[in-house]
Amino acid sequence: MLQQDYSIESILKNMRSKNLKQEPINSGSMADIAFLLLIFFLVSTTLAQEKGLSLLLPPKTEEKIDVPIHERNLYKILINSQNQFLINNEPKTSLEGVKEEVRKFVMNNGADPNLSINPEKAIVSIKANRGTEYKYFVEVLDEAKAAYYEIYAERVGLTAEQYRAINHDDPIEYDMYLKGKEGIPMNISIAQPD
Amino acid sequence: MFRKKSKKQTEITTAALPDIVFLLLFFFMVSATIRPPEELLKTKLPQADAISKVNRKELIREINIGIPKNAQFGTEPKISVESRFIDVEDVSRWAVEQKESLPENLKDHMIVLIRSDELVHMGLIADIQEELKKVNARKVVYRTLEE
């Protein structure tokens, strides 16, 4: 009869020899598993996109302050509850050409007596009706902002798209951004709808 | 001649493939934040062109406006935040709560992201904005899609 050896040394030796015999785990399917996970995450997550039209609302004031604004410094866009536009007292059905008009209005610098005195004083006023659909308000705001961005971009020799994509963390690019904006505040006023 | 050469060629090792894929996986896991889609309201966003990106994601708080998907909540446009309905009057309270969640020096920089359906009337939007003005949460972004 063979005597079984239960000493620690022999057990360890036994284990070690087993380990040595063991084949490496096949990792060929690892790529497949990783791909599966990757695809799952790609499909299930949406990259957080925080893109949109930004705006700073006016501060809440109790009493109404009447600031005298010269008629010529105001570019008025009204939208009624039927989603029709009234631009500087002229009814319009589409917003075609509004961007160009806003640009001309802002950059007038006193040339045309009906348009703004200087870019700092120029105000684009947007007023909607309570019944106006949000979509049309956004359209108007988009046109106004696009006009300003085009002005800014032109001053630093970029396209409007490049200007909007400027990285604010890069000092050189940010400097360009400030240069484009300098002296031309984006005066877009959103009036309380009635 | 060509056949001989190709026979000699060794197989491309694919040992590094899992590493590459894992790297991609981690990149997507980190860069993509899991956000449950808005489940209460129908929000078909309007399109715009002159959009800009908000760089500071941590400052963003989202508010949704749209018609409830479930008809039992009515067919009138409603406001929802964090998957619960709130009334217009509660918007200011919500804004204050959200402001409190930010560090002291960033409180006034909070950005309210308005995700509204394109058919919502401006009256409701204006009311919400009035509520936000009350608590000095004046930075808003109208979430739009690219044209």
Residue A132 exposed, middle or buried by CB count within 10 Å (0-12, 13-18, 19+): buried
Q: How many domains does chain A have?
A: 1
The string of pLDDT tens digits covering residues B34-47 is 666 667 888 888 98
Q: What is the pLDDT of residue A47?
A: 61
Q: Grade residue A14 by pLDDT with cuts at 50, 70 and 90.
A: low
**8 Å CB contact of A138 and B46:** yes
B27: chain A residues, CB-CB within 8 Å: none
CATH at A123: 3.30.420
The string of pLDDT tens digits covering residues A114-130 is 888 888 888 898 998 99
Using only C-alpha atoms, what is the Rg of chain B? 24
Size of interface A-B (CB pairs under 8 A): 164
**8 Å CB contact of A53 and B50:** yes
Q: What is the pLDDT of residue B22?
A: 82
Contact B139, B111 (CB under 8 A): yes
User: For residue A112, is pLDDT > 80?
Assistant: yes
Measured in angstroms, the CA of B78 and the nearest CA of chain A are apart by 14
The string of pLDDT tens digits covering residues A32-54 is 887 888 888 777 766 666 788 88
User: For residue A5, is pLDDT > 70?
Assistant: no
The string of pLDDT tens digits covering residues A22-31 is 777 777 787 7
Q: Does B144 touch chain A (CB under 8 A)?
A: yes
Mean pLDDT, chain A, rounded, equals 82
B33: chain A residues, CB-CB within 8 Å: 45, 48
User: For residue B142, is pLDDT > 70?
Assistant: yes
B46: chain A residues, CB-CB within 8 Å: 134-135, 138-139
Q: What is the pLDDT of residue A189?
A: 86
What is the signed CA dihedral for A61, A67, A72, A78, rounded to 10 degrees?
30
The string of pLDDT tens digits covering residues A93-103 is 888 888 898 98
A52: chain B residues, CB-CB within 8 Å: 48, 51-52, 54, 113-114, 141-144
User: For residue B29, is pLDDT > 90?
Assistant: no
Region B122-137: what's the mean pLDDT? 90
Domain carrying residue A97: 71-149+185-191
A41: chain B residues, CB-CB within 8 Å: 25, 28-29, 32
Q: Which of B53, B58, B111, B116 to mutate to test binding with chain A, by most A CBs within 10 Å of its CB? A: B53
Q: Does B63 touch chain A (CB under 8 A)?
A: no
In angstroms, rounded to a whole number, what is the distance separating the alpha carbons of residues A4 and A9?
Answer: 13
* Among the ranges given (A67-76, A131-140, B112-121), the one the predictor scored with the smallest mean pLDDT: A67-76
- Bridge partners, residue B47, by sequence: B145
User: For residue B94, is pLDDT > 90?
Assistant: yes
The pTM for the full model equals: 0.75
Out of B21, B119, B120, the one facing A31 most closely (by C-beta) is: B21
Q: According to CATH, what is the number of the domain B41-146?
A: 3.30.420.270
Domain spans, chain B: 2-31, 41-146
User: For residue B83, is pLDDT > 80?
Assistant: yes
CA angle B88, B91, B97 (to 5 degrees): 160
